[in-house]
A and B are shown apart, each in its own frame.
Chain A
Amino acid sequence: MGKEIKYQVTDYAGKLAKGFLKNPLTPVLGAFLLIMGYLSLTIMPREEDPQIAISGGAVIVAMPGASPREIENIIINPLERKLREVKGIEHIYGQAFDNYGVVSVMYYIGENREDANLKLYDKVMQNMDKMPKGVMQPLVKPFDIDIDIPILTFAFYAKDKKVDDVKLFKTVRELQQKINAVENVAKTTLKGARKEQYNIEVDMGKLSAYHLSLGQIMKAVQSVAVDVPDVKGRTQKNKLVIFGVKNAIESIEDVKNVIVAQYMGSPIYLRDVAKVTDGIDIQNFQTAKVRFKTDRKEKLGKEKSQVTLTVSKLAGTNAVFVADDVLKLLKQYDARLNKEGIGYLVTRNYGVRADEAVNELMDHLLITIVIIALMLVFALGWRESIIVTFTVPAILAVTLFVAYLSGQTINRITLFAFLLSLGLLVDAAIIVIENIHRHLHAHDAEQKEMGKLLVEATDEIGAPTNVATLAIILTMVPMAFVGGMMGSFMKPIPLNVPVALIASLFVAYIFTPYLSLKLLKKPTHKHHKGGK
């Protein structure tokens, strides 16, 4: 009776299923999606934590000799009032110290960083005329998290005694230059570095014995330590003759032999009143030490002086690649460092951590897919299970591709968004395949043409599935409006889960019927029954 009635496709689900069911381009589309997803996975920048756009900056104003109360009145209060005029600032922090004041501002999360920095600088510069007298030029320092947080740190230390602090510093400084040249490396800094310095330590007793003052010594050294550029002279034939004064100070010996004053007709040399040494910057108290072991069972070694080299990457670049490149470069210097008696220790490697975090979650994704596939084998049969299992990578591929196009990075939270959506995105496919399965085993299945049956089965659950999926998407959307640090931290969830869900609908409607046509057959026992 009703068998001859033409089935009217009512939903997009049915239309999609019908359109792609016998289209030769369907497998091409599938392959294309998978390749795109794979490419996105490999080239997308990886990092451990998502980037949070924190903008802010500090204005540092020095006024030598002023007490905190004075600084507060003269610098902090007027500056705070002025900065209040800038839109988008969430908090202003003022700190008044002896001799200087710092006003730092924090913008609302998500404020454009370039604009924020510019606004701060602009506001300070606009009001330069209102600067009180005796105040030094203000310093405006924006925070830059991408560049400020190093992804790699190395501790360089001396392996044997013959390497002194200065030698260590010089070698590390050379390496810093090389590492800074690596692609996408942004900022490199040294911590705990001791620089070479000529130290002139004056003995106060001798000073009074020779009847000298510290000021005289300062002037005497300053008067010889001058660099003069070469001068040009001309011959009568207008040819250039270039000559220059050689620097008076070439080595530590020259410093020692500076004549400070004449006493009773004989010269007093600097070495007579002071200990002059070629040493390190003794006034620098910012030193760094390291104790380490190479095996878990050992005891920590003795304390060693170290110089830490920090390396950070440019925003939006792949931490894994940058770290690899830098480590590779450093490997080339291993032999040289070894020969010079310098060892190093990698004390931080966010590249590895990012890669580990990403790979661990990829493993979790795979395991979960396998588990779901196994479950489906028991519940629906292995052919059906294969079909659903195929849809998962296809959906993830689409989602990854969209994420890549929208400039996101792969990080912990993105992958959690994937894991979260995994349970949801097989739903559409399961519902479709379950309905197909049911239709195939229905008593009137053998009278129907396979293709028509598949389209019908898909179309039937189309409307409620669409609404239900839309409902899940709607729950995710408001999450995008969660503000603050936490909001930005978990932004990948509302960004990616809806994409995955929409993709899951399309994939379920396009590929599930298509693959069913290729893989599934009407149950044979029905034919036997029909034949009877």
Chain B
Amino acid sequence: MKGLENFIYTILGSKKKKRMVLVLTALAFVGTLMMFPTKLVLAKMLPGKSDNTFSIYVDTPTGSSIEQTKAVSECVIDTIKDEKEIMNMELFLGQGVPLDYAGLVKGSAMKHTEDVAEISVNLTDKHTRDEPSFLMVQRLRPIVKQKCDSVVPGTNIRFIEQPAGPPTLASVVVEVHGDNLEKIRSLSMDVAKILKKTDGLVDVDVMADDIYDKYELIPDKEKIARSGLSVKQVNNILYLAFEGMQIAHKNSKNNPDQIPMFLILTKPSKKLASQNKDALQSKLSSLNLMNKKGMLVPLSEVVNIRKVKSNPKIMHKDLDRMINVTAETDMVSQVYPLLDAREKMIKYFSREYKVEKEPGMSTYMFDLHLTDKKTGERFLLRWDGEMKVTLDTFRDLGGAFIAALILIFLLLVVYYKSFVLSGIILLGSFLSIIGVILGHWVANWFTQETFFLTATSLIGFIALMGISSRNSLLLIDFTKSLMECHGMEKRKAIAVATATRAKPIALTAVAIILGSALLASDPVFGGLGVALISGTVAAVFVSLLFVPVLMHSVKAMDFEPADHCDVNNISITK
């Protein structure tokens, strides 16, 4: 302890050395902050977590049959079936897997068409498995896509992992807003193209129906009326023949449910020769309707067939027409590909549109406003999904952080009745950010995957503020008593106080470091652990070196020996 006391004492005695401490601290502070723009430390809301399960969503083009969807799904299952770690795979055709956190916001429960399927893949227990699920997904994704994307052209296969935090629609979501349906459709296709070309983005999907050919049967009202039929009858018979209908029920004692009676044409008589108008025409001619007089009228007589394009669904968000384009990130933070893609979009759309950036700072600050140069129509490209949640969270946490700063400052002002002393403590505790950032940089070396600065790191940093202000606080308090009660001169008092408080400061620091050591290995709360460990180390240095120097430099620390003081109150082990 004597060594530290002398060390501090010497530093405080020389102006040059004091300045050096301040300059070094400032350099460290600026240096670590520079790690963000230089991408030495990357930010992300939450990292991936290894799980015992993941899902694969198969979306064949709108209008595909369940048989086609099944073919793609089976291709996927066949491709990965020999993976050692896969214990079982469940295929749900025409529906979603039993609802989970990921599916909750991805509309998994709403799936009920023939062009969707979901596969649930259950792995061996994560404790006995070497490869985390997110690395496995990353490895399998290109293999599966390469093999099965071509089974039915236009198929979209997505790998869905369980989110570590709150679920979002996708990592990157671009909402294309606008009134012109055709235009937002083509815009969203362009956006998807750009996202596909961006490094780090995978599973790009435009959440719009594909347009396919369909045939419209237009009932000829006059002919129908003249043959003694009704339009309703025509509609019904068509549905009955090709889709089938439950026409009656039977209740049963030994059956858990009612037994429906289902009427439909046999498969051979239902099947069309080919996918064209003539085949449909000839099929309809053999389907007869009975009129009121008991005469049979072929269906083809009373309807006209016309080939049309299907009507894609229309999506609204907050009363505005829009189309979503989604993409997942491949083991990287969504921030950097997003900025990358945004640059590309500005360049690409500038040819036909006037591109304006969203003015001001908000959580929609990456949005782009497009104005068609010819027609003057306005469109909006809005970034949503994880990015929006990240920005919202970081904004709120930042707000929480500033609120915490103000609260601590006020508390200290009440306690010390001095702005300068409170300022020193606050500055001291703020500097623990050096350790937090540096710690992430170091942790990145030791981990296989990128170690991101996450929302939990921020929580750790906020908590650190309190911890390091406690160190400085005890230090100032002690110096104050030494000066007031023992009449020690300022320089000596600060040196003695620093040396005496070094032990409890170090002890509590070690307690925090050890307490957080196990946190650091957790994928989600690793950021918190690392922030606490490295931040505490920095805080110790700051409170034992930087704070004493500041204390020595300010007038507010000039305490006079007080007479009401009991000398025995403070006893110092020498």
Residues of B within 8 A of A287 (CB): 93-94
B241 at the interface (CB under 8 A from A): yes
- The residues of A that contact B550 with a CB separation of less than 8 Å are none
Closest B residue to A292 by beta carbon equals: B88
Judge whether B166 is part of the interface by a CB distance below 8 angstroms: yes
- CB atoms of A198 and B260 under 8 A apart: yes
Binds A, one of B26-34, B365-373, B400-408, B445-453: B400-408
Determine the distance from Cα of A215 to Cα of B304 in the docked complex, in whole angstroms.
21
CB pair A486–B408 under 8 Å, yes or no, is: no
- Is A233 at the interface (CB under 8 A from chain B)? no
Interface size on A, residues (CB 8 A): 152
B140-148, B348-356, B509-517 - interface stretch = B509-517
A54 contact set on B, CB distance < 8 A: 104
Q: Which residue of B lies closest to A216 (CB)?
A: B290
Say yes or no: A204-B265 contact (C-beta < 8 A), given A195-B257, A347-B90, A423-B512: yes
Question: Is there contact, CB below 8 Å, between A444 and B571?
Answer: yes
Q: Is the CB of A204 within 8 A of B287?
A: yes
Contacts of A72 on B, CB cut-off 8 Å?
314, 316
A49 to B247 alpha-carbon distance, docked (Å): 46
A139 within 8 A of B: no
Is A335 interfacial (CB 8 A cutoff)? Answer: no
Choose from A67, A213, A364 the contact partner of B289 (Cβ within 8 Å). A213
Kindly list chain A residues whose C-beta atoms are within 8 Å of the C-beta of B256: 169-170, 173-174, 177
When C-beta atoms are compared, the residue in chain B nearest to A488 turns out to be B166
Chain B proximity of A207: nearest CB distance (Å) = 7
Of the residues A205, A299, A465, A487, contact of B396 by C-beta under 8 Å:
A487
| A444 CB to nearest chain B CB (Å) | 7
Q: How far is the CB of A404 from chain B (nearest CB, A)?
A: 23
Residues from chain B with a CB closer than 8 A to the CB of A487 are 393, 396
Residue from A145, A283, A288 in contact with B92 in the complex, judged by beta carbons closer than 8 Å: A288
Asked whether any CB of chain A lies closer than 8 Å to the CB of B470, the reply is yes
Please determine whether A283 and B243 come into contact, CB atoms closer than 8 angstroms.
yes
Smallest distance from the beta carbon of B365 to chain A beta carbons, Å? 17
With A81-B319, A225-B261, A282-B262 known as contacts, the answer to whether A300 contacts B89 (CB < 8 A) is yes
Task: Determine the interface band of chain B, counting residues with CB < 8 A from chain A.
Answer: 35 or more
Out of A197, A249, A310, which one reaches B98, CB within 8 Å?
A310
B376 CB to nearest A CB, Å: 23
* Chain A residues, Cβ within 8 Å of B513: 423
A431 touching B566, Cβ below 8 Å: no
Chain B, Cβ-Cβ closest to A442: B571
Closest chain B residue, CB of each to CB of A154: B98
* Alpha-carbon distance A72/B312, docked complex (angstroms): 12
Complex alpha-carbon distance, A478 and B465, angstroms: 13
Contact B84 A296 (CB under 8 A): yes
The answer to whether A214 touches B240, judged by C-beta atoms less than 8 angstroms apart, is yes
Q: Which of A247, A372, A456 contacts B250 (CB 8 A)?
A: A247
Whether A478 touches B400, Cβ cut-off 8 Å, given contacts A2-B568, A296-B87, A422-B515, is yes
| Contact between B101 and A490, CB atoms less than 8 A apart | no
Chain A nearest CB, measured from B525 CB (Å): 5
Q: Nearest chain B CB to A406's CB is how many angstroms away?
A: 21
B91 near A490 (CB under 8 angstroms)? Answer: no
Evaluate contact between B122 and A486: CB separation under 8 angstroms: no
> Are B101 and A289 closer than 8 Å at their CB atoms?
no
Cβ contacts under 8 Å, A469 to chain B: 470
**Which one, B272-280, B334-342, B500-508, is touching chain A?**
B500-508
Is B296 within 8 A of A482, CB to CB?
A: no
State whether the Cβ of A196 lies closer than 8 Å to any Cβ in chain B.
yes
Determine if B316 and A76 form an interchain contact, defined as CB atoms under 8 angstroms apart.
Answer: yes
Q: Does A39 contact B (CB under 8 A)?
A: no
Interface contact A290-B248, CB-CB below 8 Å? no
- A467 interface neighbour in B120, B269, B314, B473, Cβ under 8 Å: B473
B455: interface (CB < 8 Å): yes
Decide if B88 touches A225 in the complex (CB within 8 Å): no
Query: B90–A296 contact, CB under 8 A?
Result: no
Q: In the bound complex, do residue B93 and residue A441 qualify as a contact, i.e. CB atoms below 8 Å apart?
A: no
A423 proximity list for chain B (CB < 8 A): 467, 508, 511-516, 532, 536
A475 touches B465 (CB 8 A): yes
Residues 1-55 (chain B) with a chain A CB within 8 angstroms:
45, 52-53
CA distance A292 to B247 in the complex (A): 39
Residues of A within 8 A of B404 (CB): 474-478
- List CB contacts (< 8 Å) of B166-194 with chain A: 166-168
- Given A471-B408, A475-B465, A486-B45, is A197 in contact with B260 using a C-beta cutoff of 8 Å? yes
State which of B85, B317, B525 has its C-beta within 8 Å of the C-beta of A296. B85
Is there an interface contact between A482 and B317, defined as CB atoms closer than 8 Å? no
**8 Å CB contacts to A: which residues of B225-283?**
233, 236-237, 240-241, 243-251, 255-257, 259-267, 269-270
Instruction: Decide yes or no: A98 and B311 within 8 Å by CB, A148-B99, A200-B263 being known contacts.
Output: yes
Q: CA of A176 to CA of B568 in the docked complex: distance in angstroms?
A: 76
Query: Which of these binds chain B: A87-95, A130-138, A508-516?
Result: A87-95
In this complex, the member of B74, B90, B114, B310 whose beta carbon has the largest number of chain A beta carbons within 10 angstroms is: B90
Report whether B90 and A67 are in contact in the complex, using a CB–CB cutoff of 8 Å: no
- Interface of chain A residues 357 through 388 with chain B (CB within 8 A): 364, 367-368, 371-372, 375-376, 379-380
* A496 interface residue (CB < 8 Å to B): no
Measured between beta carbons, the chain A residues less than 8 angstroms from B286 are 204-205, 208
Q: How far, in Å, is B94 (CB) from chain A's closest CB?
A: 4
B518 touches A475 (CB 8 A): no
A196–B256 alpha-carbon span in the complex (Å): 10
A179 to chain B, nearest CB (A): 14
Q: How far is it, in angstroms, between the C-alpha of A482 and the C-alpha of B455 when the chains are bound? A: 12
- Residue of B91, B104, B316, B397 near A288 (CB, 8 A) is B91
Residue from the list B82, B98, B249 in contact with A225, Cβ < 8 A = B249
Q: Looking across the interface, which residue of chain A has its beta carbon closest to that of B481? A: A460
Chain A contacts for B112, CB-based, 8 A = 286
Q: Does B444 contact A (CB under 8 A)?
A: no
CA distance A364 to B407 in the complex (A): 32
Contact status B408-A475, CB under 8 Å = yes
- Contact between A218 and B263, CB atoms less than 8 A apart: yes
Contact A416 to B525, CB < 8 A, known contacts A92-B317, A300-B86, A472-B466: yes
Specify which of A67, A310, A490 lies most central, judged by the most chain B CB atoms within 10 Å of its CB: A490
Contact of A217 among B74, B263, B524 (CB under 8 A): B263
B98 and A150 form a contact (CB under 8 A):
yes
Is B474 an interface residue, CB under 8 A from the partner?
A: yes
Contact B99 A214, beta carbon cutoff 8 Å: no
Min Cβ gap A76→B in Å is: 6
Q: Which of A192, A416, A441, A475 contacts B528 (CB 8 A)?
A: A416
> What string of 1s and 0s marks CB contacts (under 8 Å) between A135-177 and chain B?
0000000000100111001010000000000000110011001
Q: Tell me whether B459 is interfacial, beta carbon within 8 Å.
A: yes
**Any chain B CB within 8 A of the CB of A317?**
no
Interface flag for B95 (CB, 8 Å): yes
Q: Contact partner of B399 among A292, A473, A478, CB < 8 A?
A: A478
Neighbouring A residues of B522 by C-beta, 8 Å: 416
Q: Answer yes or no: A527 CB below 8 A from chain B CBs.
A: no
List the B residue with the shortest CB-CB distance to A67: B311
A281 CB to closest chain B CB (Å) equals 7
Asked if A234 CB lies within 8 Å of chain B CBs, one says: no
Question: With the chains together, A422 CA to B100 CA distance in Å?
Answer: 32
Instruction: Tell me whether A470 and B98 are in contact (CB under 8 A).
Output: no
- Counting CB contacts under 8 A, is A36 at the interface? no
Given contacts A95-B315, A218-B247, is CB(A484)–CB(B262) below 8 Å?
no
Q: Quick check: B508 and A441 within 8 Å, CB to CB?
A: no
CB closest residue in chain B, given A189? B98
Q: Which residue of B lies closest to A447 (CB)?
A: B568
Q: Within 8 Å of chain B (Cβ to Cβ): is A403?
A: no
Given contacts A95-B314, A291-B88, A474-B408, list 4 more A-B pairs with CB under 8 A: A5-B566, A189-B98, A196-B255, A375-B507
16 contacts between A and B (CB under 8 A): A198-B262, A215-B233, A217-B263, A281-B262, A285-B66, A285-B94, A286-B112, A296-B87, A348-B122, A420-B463, A469-B470, A476-B404, A477-B407, A485-B165, A486-B392, A489-B166
The 3 closest A-B pairs by CB, nearest first: A472-B466, A94-B316, A485-B166
